[in-house]
Structure 1
Amino acid sequence: MADLRDDPYDSDTAAGAAGDIDAHTLTDPATDTAPVSSAERARVLLAAHPVIDGHNSLAPTLLRRRGAGHSHDLDQGESALDTDMPRIRAGALGAQYWSLQADGDAAGEGRAISTTLELIDLVRELIASCPESLRLALGAGDLADARNCGRVASLLGPVSGRAMGDSLATLRALHFLGVRVLALAGARWADDGLTRFGQEAVREMNRLGVIVDLTGASEETARATFAVTKAPAMFSHGGGDVPDGILELLRANSGVCMVSFARAASLCAVADRVERVRDVAGPQCVGLSGTYGHEARTPRTAGLEDASCYPHLITELLERGWDDTAITDLTWGNAARVLRDTEFLARAAQGRRSPSTATIDELDAARR
C-alpha cells in the first residue's frame, strides 16, 4: 500500500517526536529523573499528535433540534449537547469526521439524498461560523494545514450509501461537494455482499478518493468489498463488534478500525476494545471514534462522557504499557495514512480509468 510521507504528523514524525518527549519532557525538572504521571504524558503526546476522530453525529442532532426551534453556539458551548469547541479543545482533537448520515425516518421516507444535502449545508455553515476554530478539509494535506493554523480539520462524511440514490453520478456530485467517506450499509446493492453495481460503486469510490466505510455492513459485504477495493477501507465507528476474520482482512487491506466509546461498561472496557483491535488487525490499523454529537442526557461510558475525555483513554493505555509511537499512530498516524493512501491511489486510478457511466439497471438487471 502506498504511503506518502508528506504529513508532518504522520507516524514517522510521531516516532521522532515521541523520542524527544521521552528524553526531555517526561521527567521532573527538579530531579531530571523522576517520570511524570501518565496523565501528563498523555497531555504532552496529544499536544503534538492530536486525535483524528472517525465519527461525530452533531450535524444530524442539530438538524433535528433546528426543526424544534433550538440553536447551538459551537464556539461558546452548550450544556445540552456533548460536543462544542471548549470540549473539543480540551479533548485534543486535531481532526473530525462529521457524520452526514440521515436518520432512519428520513431514509424511509425517500429523503436520504435531500437530507444529506441539508446536512452538508449545515456542516459547511457550522465551519464558516467558527473560522478561528474549524477548517474544512478535503484531503490529507489539509489535516496538517489546519493543525498548523490551530484549527480542527473538518472532514465531510460518512454519508449513507442510500444517499447515492443508486447513481454513480450522484456519488461524483457528493465528492464534488466535499464528501470523503461513504458507508455501504443501507444501500440495496451492498446488502449481503456486493452486486455488480456495488462492485462498480466501490471502484468509482477508489477512483474519486472516497473512503469506503464498512460500519454496519454485513460480513458478506465486508468480504466482498475487500476483494474489490484497491484503497484502504475504514470502520468509522463501532469497531468492538467487528469479527476477527474481518479485522484480519482489514490488516491485509491496510485500513483502519476506529473504535467507538459508546455503550461500553467502563473506560477500561473501551481500552480492552482498542487493544483487541490492535492485537487482531495490527497496531497500524486502529484508531478512535468518540461517537459524540448527541444530547448530553444520552447514556455515556463513565469517564468518556463528552468530547473532552479522549485524554482519559490515552492515560489508561499508557498505564497499560503502550509506547509513544503506538499512541501517536492510534490518535493521528493511522487515520491520516488511510486518507493519504486513498488520495494517492485515486490519482493513479484517474490516469487509467474514466468516470463510470454504468447504471444499476444495466448491471443488476438479472437480479430483478
Structure 2
Amino acid sequence: MADLKDELDTSPEVGELDDLPDPLPGGRSASVSGPADGTGSDLLDRAHVLLAAHPVADGYSGLPWALRHLPWFDLELGESAVDTDIPRMREGHVGALFWALHLPESLDGDQAVSATLDQLDLVKTVVRSHPDGLRLACTPGPITDARHSGRIAVLPGPAGAAALGDSLGILRSLHGLGLRALTLSGTSWASEAGMTRFGEEVLREMNRLGVVADLSGGSADTVRRACAVSKAPVLCARSAARALRPHPANLPDDLLTDLGAVKGVCMVPLTAEQTGPSVRDVADHLDHVRAVAGPECVGLSGTYDAGTAHPQDLADASRYPHLIAELLRRGWSEADIALLTWGNVQRVLREADFTAREAQRRREPSTAKIADFDG
C-alpha cells in the first residue's frame, strides 16, 4: 500500500435547471443574451452567469485517495496540494461532485473491500469537517437541498467492482453506507469477455438499490449487455470519443449510439490523455458526443486529483467557465449547456431513484452467489 501514492500523485497540466442565486462581481445582469461571436471576456462573463443558474455536476473526482496521503488539509480555506477545494469549486460553479472510490488494480479480494470501506469513511469524515461547504447527498432530494443551501453535494462513488468481493451482501452494505455508483469492469463477472449471468444479477440488484452503473473501461460486450439489462440509465463516468482520440476508455460511435438509445450519459473527462492538450480539444469531444448520442447524453467529468494531466486552461476545478465559454463561442444553446452541466446527471439520478422504489415493491434482496450462476 505504501507505493500507491506514486501511482496516484497529481500530474501537472499540459499547459496552462434550477434557480441558484450567485451574482457575478460588479452587479452584472443574470441574462445570458448576447452574440455567440462576442469577445472572449463577454463569453466568459456569459459562462459565469449560465453556470450560476446551471452548475456543474462533475462525474469523477479522485480526491478521497489523494487526501488520505496528506497529513493535514483544509478544503474550506483552500488546499494547494490538490486540484479540488471549496473555493475553487465555488469559482468553477460546481454544484455536485462524485467522489470516486477507485483503487489500483493491484488490490483485490478482501484488500479491495477494506480499502473501499476506508475511503467511504474518509469521505464522510471530510464532509462532516466541512459543514459550511459540503453536504453528503445520496439521492436527488438532498442534492437539490445542498445546492439551495449554498453547499456542494458530495456523492460517494463510483467504486470499483472489486469492492464487492463477488458478494451482493457487500453491495447492499456499501449502498447503506452511501455508495451511489459502481464501475462494472475488472472482475470475473464483468470482464473483457463481457458480463456473465452473475454480473447481470449484480446489475439487477444495483437497480433495486439505486446504485448507478458506470461503464467506463468496460468491454464493448459489457457496455452493450449492461445497456440492455439495466432498467435505469447508465453512466460512462470517464469516457470521451474514440473517433477523435483512440484511448481504450473512450467510446466508439456505435457504443455512443447505444448509450444514447437508452438515455445514458457519457461524461467527457478533462484529461489531456483522453481528450487532448487544449480546451478546444475537450470541446471537440463534447461536440462529437452530442452529435452522435444526443444532447441528453453528454456530461462533464473533471477527473481532478486522479493522477492525470489536464488540458491547457483546465488545470483545476475552478476552470469550468473557460470550457463553457468555448462552447458558447461554438454556438451551443443555453438549453444544451444546461443539460450538459446539470440536467442530464440529475435525470439519471432521479430515474435511478424511481427505478429503485419500483423494484423494491416487486423484488426481494437477492441472495444469489456467484457459484449459482458461473460456478
TM-score, with structure 2 as normaliser: 0.86
The amino acid across from 1:268 in the alignment is: R
Secondary structure of residue in 1 paired with 2:59: strand
Secondary structure of residue in 2 paired with 1:89: helix
Q: By how many angstroms is 1:234 displaced?
A: 0.2
Match of 1:25 among 24, 27, 31: 31
Query: Residues 170 and 27 (structure 1 numbering): CA distance in 2 closer, same or farther, change over 3 Å?
Result: closer
- 1:337 corresponds to: 347
How far apart in 2 are the matches of 1:27 and 1:271? 21
Query: Residues 27 and 207 (structure 1 numbering): CA distance in 2 closer, same or farther, change over 3 Å?
Result: closer
Secondary structure of residue in 2 paired with 1:106: coil
Residue 152 of structure 2 is aligned to residue 152 of structure 1: yes
How far apart in 1 are the matches of 2:142 and 2:335? 23
Unmatched runs of 5 consecutive residues or more in structure 1: 1-8, 15-22, 29-33
- 2:171 corresponds to: 171
- 1:287 corresponds to: 299
Q: By how many angstroms is 1:73 displaced?
A: 1.4
How far apart in 2 are the matches of 1:137 and 1:338? 15
The superposition leaves residues 107-132 of structure 1 with CA deviations (integer Å, 9 ceiling, x where unpaired) of 3x751000000000111111001000
Runs of 4 or more, structure 1, over 6 Å off, are none
Q: Is the contact between residue 30 and residue 49 of structure 2 (CA under 8 Å) also seen in structure 1?
A: no
Residue 42 of structure 2 is aligned to residue 37 of structure 1: yes
Q: By how many angstroms is 1:25 displaced?
A: 2.3
- 2:120 corresponds to: 120
Secondary structure of residue in 2 paired with 1:188: coil
How far apart in 2 are the matches of 1:78 and 1:168? 37
Q: By how many angstroms is 1:82 displaced?
A: 1.0
- 2:129 corresponds to: 129
Secondary structure of residue in 2 paired with 1:254: coil
Residue 265 of structure 2 is aligned to residue 253 of structure 1: no
How far apart in 2 are the matches of 1:27 and 1:46? 14
1:52-201 superposed matches below 5 A? 52-63=57-68, 65-66=69-70, 70-107=71-108, 110-191=110-191, 192-201=193-202
How far apart in 2 are the matches of 1:43 and 1:24? 9
Q: Is the contact between residue 66 and residue 82 of structure 2 (CA under 8 Å) also seen in structure 1?
A: no
How far apart in 1 are the matches of 2:238 and 2:333? 24
Secondary structure of residue in 2 paired with 1:130: coil
How far apart in 2 are the matches of 1:197 and 1:145? 37
How far apart in 1 are the matches of 2:358 and 2:33? 46
Q: By how many angstroms is 1:172 displaced?
A: 0.6
The amino acid across from 1:39 in the alignment is: L
Query: Residues 174 and 24 (structure 1 numbering): CA distance in 2 closer, same or farther, change over 3 Å?
Result: closer
The amino acid across from 1:195 in the alignment is: T
Q: Is the contact between residue 113 and residue 165 of structure 2 (CA under 8 Å) also seen in structure 1?
A: yes
How far apart in 2 are the matches of 1:324 and 1:334? 14
Q: Is the contact between residue 168 and residue 358 of structure 1 (CA under 8 Å) also seen in structure 2?
A: yes
Unmatched runs of 5 consecutive residues or more in structure 2: 1-16, 21-28, 242-249
Query: Residues 315 and 24 (structure 1 numbering): CA distance in 2 closer, same or farther, change over 3 Å?
Result: closer
Q: By how many angstroms is 1:143 displaced?
A: 1.4
How far apart in 2 are the matches of 1:41 and 1:133? 25
Q: Is the contact between residue 75 and residue 85 of structure 1 (CA under 8 Å) also seen in structure 2?
A: yes
Q: Give the aligned CA root-mean-square deviation in angstroms.
A: 1.9
How far apart in 2 are the matches of 1:237 and 1:73? 27
Q: By how many angstroms is 1:24 displaced?
A: 7.0
Secondary structure of residue in 2 paired with 1:94: strand
How far apart in 2 are the matches of 1:125 and 1:238? 29
Match of 2:371 among 334, 358, 361: 361
How far apart in 2 are the matches of 1:123 and 1:164? 18
Secondary structure of residue in 1 paired with 2:97: strand
Residue 315 of structure 2 is aligned to residue 305 of structure 1: yes
Match of 1:270 among 262, 273, 282: 282
Query: Residues 203 and 98 (structure 1 numbering): CA distance in 2 closer, same or farther, change over 3 Å?
Result: same
Query: Residues 26 and 208 (structure 1 numbering): CA distance in 2 closer, same or farther, change over 3 Å?
Result: closer
The superposition leaves residues 39-74 of structure 1 with CA deviations (integer Å, 9 ceiling, x where unpaired) of 1111111111100000000111122x14xxx32211
The amino acid across from 1:253 in the alignment is: V
Q: By how many angstroms is 1:190 displaced?
A: 0.4
Q: By how many angstroms is 1:249 displaced?
A: 1.0
The amino acid across from 1:152 in the alignment is: I
Q: By how many angstroms is 1:77 displaced?
A: 1.5
Q: By how many angstroms is 1:185 displaced?
A: 1.2
% same residue: 49
Q: By how many angstroms is 1:245 displaced?
A: 1.0
The amino acid across from 2:43 in the alignment is: S
How far apart in 2 are the matches of 1:49 and 1:24? 12
Q: Is the contact between residue 287 and residue 335 of structure 1 (CA under 8 Å) also seen in structure 2?
A: yes
Secondary structure of residue in 2 paired with 1:104: coil
